[in-house]
Chain A
């Protein structure tokens, strides 16, 4: 049961329309994009102002009630999974564009503004906001800040953290402070940089300063067919080895291509074992020279066919197909687990072979969609939830894939975040000492642990006491400590 004072304070601040207490309505919010985890929140609030957010947080702070912030609910790691005894603060009604400064190239928006709406608001001035997660039509900038979202163009242009200049921030105690702002630098510790990607565990952003970029003069996009993903991977290595940083470089294997083609009708060659999408952008002369080189390198790596997008419409279709890959998977399989591991891109071929082996051994099909340029893999483990034990077995395959990524020197998550989904995998990447140092930030900003508890960091309750696979700590490498 939610504290009576928190409910009453929320109703006073937001009015009856801004507070949801009715069971059936609460259920609407019980999960985010990771629908396998469901928790009904004790209370949902829909604030429209910073003062309302701060007021609710203050009430939670005083009553010792946990709270979870939520944007559009598209997250894929359960970062916005509600707390059964807590308040879910839904920011989707805060969707005003507060300021557009064309000359100084920034915009100030509320957290509920969608990612795509930011670029749309300045498109007529040839400006845009660079990070473009696949869910950009729906996902909110506040959620992007929480997750440090990437997208297909982040190889060249960077992630949310490289494009968000400042935040208005409601602390775990309900104070409102500004971190960063419209200027390129501010004095003091870069708390904005720590908050971005902290998955809602440090506070809530209620206003966001984003950097805008000039649209590039010229863009060229191609699709290259390869017999195998490994060959396509060789092309990726050759392209970056040539000193080219494409705006985007994406790969799909045949299974992923089938799903995409059924859904978006891009005209993919389904005879191919893998397709590579490469986009280069920038000043025309640079782009033309790089595009020539990319075609040559693809051919040298064994591309059987290269299709060049003729115009903006064809380019848009290609990207629509790529971005629809997850949604399209429903056509191939009733259920699937998606992973988000990262590997050094030079290990691509080898890790793909290991994934194929895992798939064969387990009998579960794995479709692969990658941000190939930055080594971010999205293997989708397909299963049918109606088969007894299938979900557990498929999840086991998915977890093994992530472990492969860490062993190859990579990461458990490139852009989806840790959330509840991968909290127990954190020890595979970080030692207890590493996590303790990170937790000092948490203790500084949210000493009582009321901000999105149970996310990001492993807890014994959630994960048991199982240690992850061995990975030497910095001190062990230095010969200072031993692990027996």
Chain B
């Protein structure tokens, strides 16, 4: 078990409040260290807290849809609502929250996906949670409740705390309610696949992006480039044809077109792979999109030199990557991470650990070198959580 899971296990108590009022009372009564969690699917992500946890607050009791207006394409939900429940509700009105992160089947909550800034292949077409959240309610450790944004898509009144709290790993306060922009559910979905090594995938991605096709995802995984097209049925079909023609002109052989249940199942499998499995270390990385092949080669070398294996899944058009390290012991994973981090640094990229193999944090800094603005980030933390009660040490730079 990794650090945060242990800390939660050893926490003095765990509470599962069912209302904002209850959770506020809990925080006001508890002067010690706090850890916020949704359904716990990503508890082992990030660095372990550097203090004993006095109170774990689970948001799974805060799981209501507060308001859903399909015609306005907005929905307000409590943070503990499982994402798949929300998606089912929205699907009834032919809409969806345009995000497809892993761990949905395990009950990943809307608040948890937001707090960890998790995403999936649709990151290309719809952005991440930061781009979908239009309103936010937060509860700070001292009991202050603040709202920012609102219930309309277009709104520039006040500071946008939705950006600040997205990906903050519960280190600023508890996210209690979110208002989200939702999108029409595409009528049809078709995926063109083509076998490709990293160089081929990087070059094909460049060509696809220079063309007028508008894939919702371009992912490279399992030595295959996956090009997903979603929208109106006829339009999707004709775009798939364009993609196949473009790939053919480039001399790529073996293209196939997936549709229907097969297509959906293929993406479900790919997305679940992003979360990693037992005995694996999962890394999140970013490079410029045209550095994907170099990042892949560096990962292979780093893993081999360290005596481990590695697999890469790249959202190739946006330059975001998920690497899984497997086989090898924790020392090997640490060494592979350190080498890959150095190689990515030279490419202008970075990597940090999402999910560490147990004990990895004793060998290497999971987040990696602090960003240039870490001083400002510390000042923000200081204002929101001056006593350092919220998941201390779990974030970048020991925040």
Q: A residues within 8 Å of B by Cβ?
A: 101, 103-105, 147-148, 150, 154-155, 158-159, 161-162, 169, 171, 175, 177-179, 182-194, 196-198, 214, 216-218, 237, 240-241, 243-245, 282-286, 289-290, 342-346, 371, 374-376, 409-418, 422, 426, 429-431, 433-438, 440-445, 456, 473-475, 478-480
Q: Are A197 and B160 in contact (CB under 8 A)?
A: yes
Q: How far is the CA of A436 from the CA of B173 in the complex (A)?
A: 14
Is B352 touching A187 in the complex (CB atoms < 8 A)?
yes
Contacting residues, chain B, for A440 (C-beta < 8 A): 380, 383-384
Contact mask for chain B residues 144-181; partner A; CB cutoff 8 A; 1 contact, 0 none? 11111011111111111111101110001000110000
Q: Is A283 a contact partner of B154 (Cβ separation < 8 A)?
A: no
**B34 near A: Cβ within 8 Å?**
no
335-370 of chain B: CB within 8 A of chain A: 348-350, 352, 367-368, 370
11 A-B contacts, Cβ less than 8 Å apart? A148-B156, A150-B156, A178-B372, A285-B237, A289-B234, A290-B232, A342-B150, A412-B157, A438-B146, A438-B161, A474-B176
Instruction: Tell yes or no: B297 within 8 A of A by CB.
Output: no
Q: How far is the CB of B148 from chain A (nearest CB, A)?
A: 6
* Other 7 A-B pairs with CB < 8 A, given A183-B319, A243-B185: A158-B127, A187-B350, A187-B352, A283-B212, A411-B154, A430-B158, A437-B161
Q: For A158, A183, A417, A435, which residue has the most chain B Cβ atoms within 10 angstroms? A: A183
The smallest beta-carbon distance between B181 and chain A, in angstroms, is: 10
B163/A475 in contact, CB under 8 A: no
Cβ B163 vs Cβ A190 within 8 A:
yes
CB B125 to nearest CB in A, in angstroms, measures: 11
Helix, strand, loop or mixed for chain B's interface?
A: mixed
In the complex the two chains form, what is the Cα distance from A101 to B161 in whole Å? 31
Contact yes or no, A371 B154, CB < 8 A: yes
Q: Compute how far the CA of A252 lies from the CA of B154 in the bound complex, rounded to whole angstroms.
A: 18
In the bound complex, how far is the Cα of B230 from the Cα of A283, in angstroms? Answer: 11
A440's closest neighbor in chain B, by CB? B383
User: Which of B156, B210, B371 is in CB contact (< 8 Å) with A188?
Assistant: B371
Residue of B nearest to A281 (CB): B214
A193 to B380, CA, bound (A): 14
Chain A residues lying within 8 Å of B370, measured Cβ to Cβ, are 187-188
For chain B, residues 26 to 74, give those with C-beta under 8 angstroms from any C-beta of chain A. 69-74
* Chain A residues whose CB sits within 8 angstroms of the CB of B380 once the complex forms: 189, 191, 440-441, 444-445
A189, B168: Cβ atoms under 8 Å? Answer: yes
Q: List the 4 closest pairs (A to B, CB-CB), nearest first.
A: A193-B163, A437-B146, A243-B184, A217-B212
CB neighbours (8 Å) of A148 from chain B are 156, 160
Closest to B167 in A: A190
Q: How far is the CA of A105 from the CA of B158 in the complex (A)?
A: 30
Which residues of chain B are within 8 angstroms of A188 by Cβ–Cβ distance? 370-371, 373-374, 377, 395-397
In the assembled complex, the CB of B122 is this many whole angstroms from the nearest CB of chain A, namely 13
User: Which of A103, A187, A375, A444 touches B379 (beta carbons < 8 Å)?
Assistant: A444
Contact A240 B376 (CB under 8 A): no
Q: How far is B160's CA from A414's CA once the two chains are assembled, in angstroms? A: 13
Q: Range of interface residues on chain B?
A: 35 or more
**Which of B140, B160, B372 is within 8 Å of A193, CB to CB?**
B160
Measured CA separation A184–B352 after assembly (Å) = 14
Judge whether A190 and B158 touch: CB under 8 Å: no
Of B123, B231, B350, the residue contacting A286 (CB under 8 A) is B231
B4 cross-chain contacts in A, Cβ below 8 A: none
- The distance from the CB of B198 to the nearest CB of chain A, in whole angstroms, is 16
Instruction: Enumerate chain B residues within 8 angstroms of A343, measured Cβ to Cβ.
Output: 152
A133 to B140, CA, bound (A): 36
Selecting from B6-14, B80-88, B281-289, B302-310, the interface stretch reads B281-289
Q: How distant is the Cα of A305 from the Cα of B309 in the complex, in angstroms? A: 65
Select which of A241, A286, A345, A376 is within 8 A of B232 by beta carbon: A286
Which of B130-138, B246-254, B262-270 binds A?
B130-138
Q: Is the CB of A193 within 8 A of B183?
A: no
Q: Which A residues lie within 8 Å of B209 (CB)? A: 105, 214
B239 sits at the interface (CB 8 A): yes
Q: Tell me, yes or no, whether B320 is within 8 Å of chain A by CB.
A: yes
Name the contact of B235 in the complex, choosing from A103, A285, A376, A431 (C-beta under 8 A): A285
The answer, yes or no, to whether B298 is at the interface (CB within 8 Å) is: no
Q: How far is the CA of A190 from the CA of B45 in the complex (A)?
A: 18
Taken together as a complex, chains A and B put the C-alpha atoms of A132 and B186 apart, in Å, by: 27
CB distance from A340 to the nearest CB of B (A): 9
The answer, yes or no, to whether B1 is at the interface (CB within 8 Å) is: no
| Assembly CA distance A170 to B288 (angstroms) | 25
**Contacts A346-B71, A437-B140 known; A179 to B373 CB distance under 8 Å?**
yes
Distance, CA A79 to CA B35, complexed state (A) = 39
Whether the pair A282, B152 counts as a contact (CB closer than 8 A) is no
Q: Does B382 contact A (CB under 8 A)?
A: yes
Q: Are A282 and B157 in contact (CB under 8 A)?
A: no
Whether A374 touches B153, Cβ cut-off 8 Å, given contacts A158-B131, A162-B131, is: yes
B296 lies within 8 A of chain A by Cβ? no
Question: How distant is the Cα of A105 from the Cα of B397 in the complex, in angstroms?
Answer: 30
Decide if B244 is an interface residue (CB 8 Å cutoff).
no
Task: List A contacts of B158 (CB < 8 A).
Answer: 418, 426, 429-430, 434-435, 438, 456
Note all chain A residues with C-beta closer than 8 A to B187: 243
Residues of A close to B375: CB separation below 8 A:
175, 177
